[in-house]
Amino acid sequence: MESRNQTLVVEFLLLGLSEDPELQPLIFILFLSVYLVTVSGNLLIVLAILSDPHLHTPMYFFLANLSMVDICFTSTTIPKMLVNIQMQSRAISYAGCTTQMFFFLLFGDLDDFLLAVMAYDRFVAICHPLHYSVIMNPHLCVQLVLVCWIISVLPAFLNSLLVLRLSFCTHVAIPHFFCELNQVINRACSDTFLNDLMMYFATVLGGGPLAGILYSYSKIVYSICAISSARGKYKAFSTCASHLSVVSLFYGTALGVYLSSTATQNSHSTAAASVIYTVVTPMLNPFIYSLRNNDIQRALTLLIT
């Protein structure tokens, strides 16, 4: 009977970034501001690309998809956190926690794979410029995005499904501001071997896009070095500088968080560090792509005016 009662958990408690009541209004204002900037910035990028026919190219098609995914990525975590702070509650339902996990994993993996596809696009543009329009045709671009969705949905669905088979104790407190998969699994009262195995598989799968990005950029660097003129090198590098900045920010912060989490037992520190890649990175992406991109700047100017 005791084992049966352990499965009847109806809600989890998200402890958030701080348990100090005096800091809650500051955290609320800060995260609300970041969320509004993230949504408006990425939405402007999408609208600018859709409204300007000159931006209907593979590179900007992938960028529009990345911006939409970034909006969804932050929307899976921040709104619930803001509601909890406003309602002075830390609770999230069992179904809500599982749903949040699924969408967080889905859009996180989509970010991962879209960045790899964008690296491939830059590889073709710089290393095979004469065949670029033939290789990166609209049909292939749509196929690549669909493949990204399919590959991202499967591990997210399986990880979330395996969580449903776990038994939890009656009081489950998660020292995070969202239902992070590893934190939830660690608080299960039943065997988590299959969950750990699936997480390991998902981690290996997530390393595939990173390997693809590194391979693409190794070829890009080799091609740029082969260009004789300094102007030609600068022009070639400038076409992938924004993407390289986003990749460095995303992977650098994500890897830093998970490597630090293995070295420290302070869960609140890990939660605070994860803010960088879950919240800050999606907010900065529109600025990175617009600051040094004259085409985006022109489209944004026409859209706003």
Predicted confidence (pLDDT) per residue in 196-241, tens digit: 898 888 888 878 898 999 999 999 999 888 888 888 788 778 878 8
| The token pair that represents 152 in the structure block | 């991202």
**Rounded average pLDDT over 108-126:** 93
Q: Where are the domains of the chain?
A: 2-304
Decide: 107 and 73 in contact? Cβ < 8 Å.
yes
pLDDT at 23 over 50: yes
- pLDDT for residue 281: 86
**Class of 2-304 per CATH?**
mainly alpha
How many other C-beta atoms can be found within 10 angstroms of the C-beta atom of residue 252?
Answer: 13
Confidence (pTM): 0.90
| The token pair that represents 174 in the structure block | 């998660």
* β-pairing verdict for 173-174 and 91-93: unpaired
CA–CA gap between residue 104 and residue 217 (Å, rounded): 28
